[in-house]
Chains A and B, each alone.
Chain A
């Protein structure tokens, strides 16, 4: 069985641009969460989606948005990129909205120049 898959694996963008990151959850998993990991820090919660609805949001500006599709895959969008958005973006999937059974993908490394 495929795990959580994220694309692309690496990305370089210029300040002010927009980026879309994609995540496919484990088959059967209905919840997708997004985390940002800046170098030297632990992952920080951005969003959780369950059954296409936003269930939770972390302390991130409105430039960050996400959505979940009928097949439970998800996109994270970041507008007006800043240098400080350079980070590893991790997607995690689970069966349910609550509980603790997360599986993480390998992440997308975003570099903003």
Chain B
């Protein structure tokens, strides 16, 4: 039962353009959503998050949008840079009193110069 889905395994974008990574979820109990970036041979690195009481959160070049009615979130990277090339994971959490992140399968972003 894949509760968090990233349907695009890969995305290619040119430097300077916008990258849009999408994520869908099925569990309505999720109340917090996070994006992680992962380089090969490294652990996931936290990028940006959003609470279910918001519909947008922005941090520099990164913006996350949440559409609760559609159970959909997206990560926008503007402008994209070659150093952004990595695998991006969407993760979700419910308020269960302990930490458990449910991850999607990831989207590999390639930003070409």
Residues of chain B with a CB closer than 8 A to A44's CB: 103
State whether A56 touches B42 (Cβ < 8 A).
no
Contact of A56 among B45, B89, B98 (CB under 8 A): B98
Q: Per-residue CB proximity of B79-113 to A under 8 Å, as 1/0?
A: 00000000001010101111111111110000000
Which bracket fits the contact residues of B? 20 to 34
State whether A100 touches B49 (Cβ < 8 A).
yes
Closest to B33 in A: A100
Assess whether A97 is interfacial by the CB under 8 Å rule.
yes
State whether A107 touches B43 (Cβ < 8 A).
yes
Q: Per-residue CB proximity of A24-41 to B under 8 Å, as 1/0?
A: 000000010101000011
Residues of chain B with a CB closer than 8 A to A48's CB: 98-100
State whether A90 touches B44 (Cβ < 8 A).
yes
State whether B100 touches A58 (Cβ < 8 A).
yes
Residues of chain B with a CB closer than 8 A to A4's CB: 43
Residues of chain B with a CB closer than 8 A to A40's CB: 105
Closest to B49 in A: A100
Residues of chain B with a CB closer than 8 A to A33's CB: 99-100
Check A106/B43 contact, CB under 8 A, given A56-B98, A98-B99: yes
A residues near B (Cβ < 8 Å) are 4, 31, 33, 35, 40-45, 48, 50, 55-56, 58, 90, 92, 94, 97-100, 102-107
- Residue contacts A-B, CB under 8 angstroms, 5 given: A43-B101, A56-B100, A97-B97, A100-B99, A102-B99
Further contacts, 18 of them, CB under 8 A, given A55-B99, A106-B41 = A35-B101, A40-B105, A42-B89, A42-B103, A42-B106, A43-B101, A43-B103, A45-B102, A97-B97, A97-B99, A98-B98, A98-B99, A100-B34, A102-B46, A102-B101, A104-B36, A104-B44, A106-B43
Closest 9 CB pairs of A and B: A42-B103, A104-B43, A56-B98, A55-B98, A45-B100, A106-B43, A104-B44, A43-B103, A42-B105
